[in-house]
Structure 1
Amino acid sequence: MSRRLPACNPCQSSKLSCDHAKPICSRCRNRDMVDRCSYRDRPFKKRKAQALLDNTHAVPQSVSRKSRRYPNPGYLGSSSHTTLFDHLSGNDQRHVTTNSQEDMNDDPSALGCAVTDDRLEQGAAFIIHVRASARLLAWKSLIHAWVSEGINLPVAEPFTISCATVACFTINQCGNEVAESPGSLQAPARTSRQLFTQSCKPLKMAAGDTIEDFCELFCRNAARWETLGIFFTAVSRATIDITHFDSLYSSEQERRALRKLAMRFSDTCLDIALSLDCLNDLQLVLQYENFILHSLVDGDQSYHSWRKLGDVVSSLFALGYHEQLGSASVTPLFLRELRFVSFSRTYSADKNCSIFLGRPPRMLKRYCPTADLPETWETGERFTYRADTRVHSICASLKEDVLDLQKEDQIIRIQKANHIRDATEMQWAAIPTALRLDRPLSSYNQRHVEVDFLVSAKLNFAHVKFLLELTITPRVSNPGIELLRTSADMLSLVVEAIVLKQRLANSGTSLVWKVAYYGLAAAGVLCLALLYSTFDRAAPDATPSKSIRDLSVLVAEIETGALLQPEDPNYALLSGAARTIKNLLDRLITNKFTAQADTQPLIDVLAQPPLRYSDDELITWDTHGLQDFDPEFWLNLSEHPFLMTSESGMLQ
């Protein structure tokens, strides 16, 4: 019987045949790896599972004990100390990214990532937990069903399916080995080390590489923690849009449980990747998608979501993508495009969250030249997530211009407002006709995700006009025709989307976000106009009766639970606003108009000034700024004296 001979360590780890020559095998000699060729003392000795885990405590030098050549400190700016010294040494490296790192061999010892024994053990325990609690093949099927409807992760879209396939294979392969040797922890420990090792490697690309080449760096046999994180993020996102999936959940409770579980797995993978301090493009993508997931699951008022947005902004700044996206001579076009999409969507999210929550924005154009890169439309362009990103980027830039108007005096403010208004109209006119909503939603036969995009795009541009008119209005309690018309149009479109919600799919912003962000802002202006009886007869498309109808539908959808449930994000905000709107409508219709219903039309009564309270008494509830329709607005409005009764306090 022939005697088995051990392979050297490099050949064994690479799963290559070895001629077993000592001291250096032929393959290592030919591969110029003489200094790495070595043999284990007891290569075929079986070790107990616990002994293996104990061995992981002694973290190999290949993972943690070499000097840190990677990661780099990120982009340090044109005036930093490193840039100045680079100029002195004649080595200009102003565009340092993960792709311009000096060449490294595949030996993990050159990476220098500080992975402790506890982290390796925690990684193995996490893999075991995933194997025990997740039906991975069914999760993968869920993602395929989700993507087949045209929905996807907006930034990770090009490699969502690839990440799902590789993540399932990596974890299932580990589980198969465990099944063959019950109780063994060898496979999870080895998989954990491989994931850590791959996650420590920089994503090096050449100018001529393609998106397929990029995927090779974190797919197939090179799975990273970020790969698993994108997979779990996609699973959690899919449960939001697919209400029924028999092989995984048959009730709302089961669907929410799966959503939370997958989100926790995504959080764990992201935390592990961040702990390595190896910032790269894939990690940035995972950070953004994880933030959006928390925004959808936890709500936009959640501090956790706000903090995660700040983390994404910090990573963008650290990578320098606010100033440069990589030199065209060394960075492939698709990668610069991926970085621009990541920046644009984060920049838009920063503006929207700032306005919604009444907080200062983190990203400003004066410090972000990338925000001023021109965006153009192709003739006959159809819906894509790239087109959705373009709309977000254009509107976010316009919204920042509107925010800056608050610093100007009234004369300059109106002058600049006219320029912004013209720019908004020009940008809207530049959008291809197929991507502009210009007729009732019920007349569109496109895929649900495309119809949702049409709604989102029109609401986004309408919101710019809304903010602009709000800025130049001295008193919101006495709005002009344009503000009333814009508010009425926004609310009508939101109500139409609610009524026809079965025809919409999440193209990038959920229906609840549309209601909370656009619908409530418009409803706030209309409620103040009803409260102060300041509707203008010269605006036939913004009448009290139309506003009351739309507000009533909004209240009914929220109160009946047709729009969202108590467990859904932003429920407290929407339900509180619905109660306030209902109180206002009840008071207007029953208390104020009952005695006059037989003798005077409703619109004539609404034209009368409010009774009992003077302007001095009501001035406390007047609003003046862009961010006065944040969640506190509805709490203050509910305490308005016009919505109180002397007998029982607030009208119920």
Structure 2
Amino acid sequence: MPQELRVRRNGQSQACEVCRLSKIRCDHATPVCGRCALRGLICVYHSAPMTRSRNTTSRIETLPKKRSYSYNPSLTLKEQQPSLHVNHRPAETSVFVKAPTHYGTTRLSAVFSASQAGFDSVIPDTLDEDIPASQVTAGNFNLTTDRDAAKRAQVKQAGKILLSFPTPQTCEVLLQHLDTTIDIHVSPTMIRQCLQQVWSEYGCHLSHPRSTKRIMEMSSDLCQNGKSPIVLSDEVSWYNWFGGPYLRWEMIAVLYSYFGLAFKCLQEWDPVFELPELQGLDRNTAAEKMRVCAAECLKVCENIDTKMNDIMVIALKNTWKLHSMIAPEGSNEMKPCSGVVISASVTAGLHRLALVTDETPLSEHRTALSAYGYFLDKSESIFNGRPPMLTLQYCIYRLPLDLSEDDLYGTPEEFASGKARLDSNGWDTSGRIHTTTWVRAQCLQIPIREEIVELAIGVNVHFTKQQIDNLNTKLDEVVASYPAKIQYRNRQHWVQKKAARELYIVTWIHLDVLRCRFLIERLNVSRSYSTGQALLDVAQEIMKEVLWFWLNRDELLHFNYSFDALVVYLGIPSSGVLCEELIKSTKQDQGGASLNFLRSDVIQSLTMFVGFLEWIRPTDSNYKLCWKLSKAIKRIVDSVLNAPSLTIQSQQQQAQSQTYFDSLGSYNRDSDVIQDESLAVGMDDLDDLNWMSTIDWTQGEWLDMNQ
């Protein structure tokens, strides 16, 4: 084409369409620019780029296309044929980007973004213009050269992260445990599909021995993709939301975080740790290595100014979850992390999704992330005793449909078939239990949990017994609304009929309900509306369910990784109530007051709980906390059994209890043992449960039971 047609109105040379839309500097070579020639792209110099339509769909269609993907889960990663195709997606070209609907009128650019159309008519394609030559240099520095050097350094630094990407052999092993990570943010279908695309597109780059040059090429592609807004639409195939031609650093972070979660799910003796690339690593160190890589991927996203999106929210959430499985629950390094995840979710607009009349795979994908994020905020608020970041006043959320992964990410016919199996309330009538089943059950409790938080940690909040009774009534109504497949029944009636995964989910749903009841009864006790009998009964029931996990640890082998968190979230609070009432029952013999319960049952439960605590592995994040707690509870039980008022029968029971303690067995703690003899307490020291002071995050007056 004639040279004069490639001169812009500002006198600068016109860039080709690929470079212009990708926001990279074009060398203006004819007929194909150097960048396009190097990467084998179709180079086009548009005759009138300033008059083109701004419709996003039409702009995407003008770009060079990659081949389309068809997901075939039967293929292994090793069977993927590596081939490289590079794709660059468009960046936003308006100087004033219109804010999504979830931002209000107080935002700094609200006036400009509200008048988007008017500004575009007078300053079109402002961001596409090159810097005039007269402004390129400043002092002794060449800004263009400095930027290019910074970009090269950025790509090089980012590429180092890819050197730790697991081999196909390791990936195959880790994928076998994908279904044991039950989390709406860990989609087995998305993980498998993305890994298949990674090895198909970049298999030659990640093959061993890994070449620095090839790694840098892959890093450059990921960085380039990350600079453009992510495409989320029902017109784009679901697997291209996150991978394929749109593979980005945040999705690599999702993969790394999953690898870390998978390592934590393994046993210490798993053969995968004997692979050459993992020699010398155990489940903890391997998981930590993956966590660091995931965190570095997120830093790259920050450096290249990647806009917050759903995939980044997933990456942040999974990285935080992995960190919590490595660091102790409630530690200072973990407390800010939940706030980062919730803030990211708000920035991505997941707290206020548009209401839909006809559900689609994309809308259901985002709905599930939105609903669980809102539940997560309440859960963390209760656990840490801090105010929530989100309330119903600022949020819009709805329950995701009870669909399986195959329904959601399958063909349109499978999605329609899955919807057809739902009842009028959105539950699957086939009897199957999905990850979304658990999310729906949890989210039905959100209004109750939000009210509990308001009453428990609100400033100068006064409430009546009627308000507490209403919460119990609401919780009863929620439980009654659950479908039969997750209604808690006497476990002996159906334990043989359900798989371990279903048993795990149903029991956790029941524990979620019991946790709500526990918190409600603590509110009753805090205002002296109750003697504490109901609280004790709930604590005993929670302890029974917690011990059920331990007693069935062989059947739940693939879920053992979550047992230490189970102890922290539910075992510690309920054991505290049991210990307190056990001490009061001893003082009852000396004229004190106590509730109605069988002392032998409580002692037996606490004795078994000590066995559970000592069973926790040294590579579990809460191992030291569990070890301390086991010593504390043993001292309390011994002190109760050694009380002067005990009968000969009780003394015999003490001897049997001590024999049981000695027979439990535990891990060798030569390197992890905590020498803390200050836990040896007597009855006079137990009035205020001083043993709880060894757990700093349980301290505070957010719910003073003596108020």
TM-score (norm 2): 0.67
Q: Residues of 2 paired with 1:504 and 1:252: CA distance?
A: 27
CA 591–267 in structure 1, closer or farther in 2 if over 3 Å, else same: same
Correspondence for 2:367 among 294, 315, 340? 340
Is this contact kept in 2: 1:405–1:417, CA < 8 A? no
Q: Residues of 2 paired with 1:630 and 1:68: CA distance?
A: 56
The one-letter code matched in structure 1 to 2:574 is A
Q: Residues of 1 paired with 2:92 and 2:485: CA distance?
A: 57
Q: Residue 626 of structure 2 aligns with which residue?
A: 574
Q: Residue 365 of structure 1 aligns with which residue?
A: 392
Q: Is 1:422 matched up with 2:451?
A: no
Q: Residues of 2 paired with 1:380 and 1:167: CA distance?
A: 35
Q: Residue 184 of structure 2 aligns with which residue?
A: 154
Offset of 1:538 from its aligned partner? 8.2
Q: Residue 467 of structure 1 aligns with which residue?
A: 519
Q: Is 1:266 matched up with 2:260?
A: no
- Classify the secondary structure of the residue corresponding to 2:353: coil
Correspondence for 2:312 among 283, 303, 306? 283
CA 568–16 in structure 1, closer or farther in 2 if over 3 Å, else same: same
- Classify the secondary structure of the residue corresponding to 1:578: helix
Q: Residue 642 of structure 1 aligns with which residue?
A: none
Offset of 1:597 from its aligned partner? 1.7
State which drifts further: 469-478 or 420-429. Answer: 469-478
Q: Residues of 2 paired with 1:150 and 1:451: CA distance?
A: 12
CA 217–601 in structure 1, closer or farther in 2 if over 3 Å, else same: closer
CA 528–319 in structure 1, closer or farther in 2 if over 3 Å, else same: same
Q: Residue 617 of structure 2 aligns with which residue?
A: 564
Is this contact kept in 2: 1:477–1:622, CA < 8 A? no
The one-letter code matched in structure 2 to 1:154 is I
Q: Is 1:124 matched up with 2:185?
A: no
Q: Residue 397 of structure 1 aligns with which residue?
A: 447
CA 524–349 in structure 1, closer or farther in 2 if over 3 Å, else same: same
State which drifts further: 513-522 or 334-343. Answer: 334-343
Is this contact kept in 2: 1:356–1:630, CA < 8 A? no
CA 256–416 in structure 1, closer or farther in 2 if over 3 Å, else same: same
Offset of 1:338 from its aligned partner? 2.4
Alignment of 1:32-111 (within 5 A): 69=95, 77-80=103-106, 85=111, 89=115
Correspondence for 1:203 among 216, 230, 236? 230
Is this contact kept in 1: 2:266–2:558, CA < 8 A? no
Q: Residues of 2 paired with 1:258 and 1:462: CA distance?
A: 35
Q: Residue 171 of structure 2 aligns with which residue?
A: 140
Cα shift readout 1:560-597 (whole Å, capped 9, x = no counterpart): xx2232x4212233222222211110001124455x32
Q: Is 1:587 matched up with 2:618?
A: no
CA 89–229 in structure 1, closer or farther in 2 if over 3 Å, else same: closer
Q: Residue 353 of structure 1 aligns with which residue?
A: 380
CA 396–166 in structure 1, closer or farther in 2 if over 3 Å, else same: same
Correspondence for 1:314 among 320, 324, 343? 343
Alignment of 1:452-463 (within 5 A): 452-463=504-515
Correspondence for 1:325 among 353, 356, 359? 353
Is this contact kept in 2: 1:451–1:503, CA < 8 A? no
Q: Residue 256 of structure 1 aligns with which residue?
A: 284
Is this contact kept in 2: 1:63–1:108, CA < 8 A? no
- Classify the secondary structure of the residue corresponding to 1:546: helix
Superposition RMSD in Å? 4.8
CA 357–118 in structure 1, closer or farther in 2 if over 3 Å, else same: same
Q: Residues of 2 paired with 1:497 and 1:380: CA distance?
A: 27
Offset of 1:425 from its aligned partner? 0.9
Q: Residue 243 of structure 2 aligns with which residue?
A: 219
Is this contact kept in 2: 1:75–1:317, CA < 8 A? no
- Classify the secondary structure of the residue corresponding to 1:420: helix
CA 597–476 in structure 1, closer or farther in 2 if over 3 Å, else same: farther
The one-letter code matched in structure 2 to 1:550 is S
The one-letter code matched in structure 2 to 1:403 is V
Offset of 1:504 from its aligned partner? 2.3
Cα shift readout 1:243-300 (whole Å, capped 9, x = no counterpart): 2542444899523222111111111112212332411111111111112111222232
The one-letter code matched in structure 2 to 1:320 is G
Offset of 1:166 from its aligned partner? 3.0
- Classify the secondary structure of the residue corresponding to 1:292: helix
Correspondence for 1:489 among 531, 541, 552? 541
Offset of 1:317 from its aligned partner? 1.9
CA 600–293 in structure 1, closer or farther in 2 if over 3 Å, else same: closer
The one-letter code matched in structure 1 to 2:489 is D
- Classify the secondary structure of the residue corresponding to 2:387: coil
The one-letter code matched in structure 2 to 1:564 is R
Q: Is 1:297 matched up with 2:348?
A: no
Offset of 1:69 from its aligned partner? 5.0
Q: Residues of 1 paired with 2:607 and 2:454: CA distance?
A: 35
CA 305–392 in structure 1, closer or farther in 2 if over 3 Å, else same: farther
Q: Residues of 2 paired with 1:65 and 1:392: CA distance?
A: 38
Cα shift readout 1:48-83 (whole Å, capped 9, x = no counterpart): xxxxxxxxxxxxxx9999977598766663333579
Q: Residue 260 of structure 2 aligns with which residue?
A: 236
Answer 1 or 2: higher relative contact order, Cα 8 Å, separation at least 6.
1
**Count of aligned residue pairs for this structure pair:** 556
Offset of 1:469 from its aligned partner? 0.7
CA 505–318 in structure 1, closer or farther in 2 if over 3 Å, else same: farther
State which drifts further: 226-235 or 505-514. Answer: 505-514
Offset of 1:462 from its aligned partner? 0.4
Q: Residues of 2 paired with 1:220 and 1:555: CA distance?
A: 50
Q: Residues of 2 paired with 1:515 and 1:236: CA distance?
A: 22
Q: Residue 84 of structure 2 aligns with which residue?
A: none
State which drifts further: 474-483 or 511-520. Answer: 474-483
Q: Residues of 1 paired with 2:364 and 2:577: CA distance?
A: 39
The one-letter code matched in structure 2 to 1:80 is T
Q: Is 1:246 matched up with 2:271?
A: yes
TM-score (norm 1): 0.72
Q: Is 1:480 matched up with 2:532?
A: yes
Q: Residue 213 of structure 2 aligns with which residue?
A: 186
CA 119–462 in structure 1, closer or farther in 2 if over 3 Å, else same: farther
The one-letter code matched in structure 2 to 1:548 is I
The one-letter code matched in structure 2 to 1:425 is D
Q: Residues of 1 paired with 2:307 and 2:31: CA distance?
A: 35
CA 293–598 in structure 1, closer or farther in 2 if over 3 Å, else same: closer
Is this contact kept in 2: 1:125–1:188, CA < 8 A? no
Q: Is 1:438 matched up with 2:489?
A: yes
The one-letter code matched in structure 1 to 2:185 is V
- Give structure 2 stretches of 5+ with no counterpart: 1-29, 53-57, 65-87, 119-123, 132-145, 402-424, 655-681, 701-707
Q: Residue 450 of structure 1 aligns with which residue?
A: 502
Q: Residues of 2 paired with 1:11 and 1:87: CA distance?
A: 34
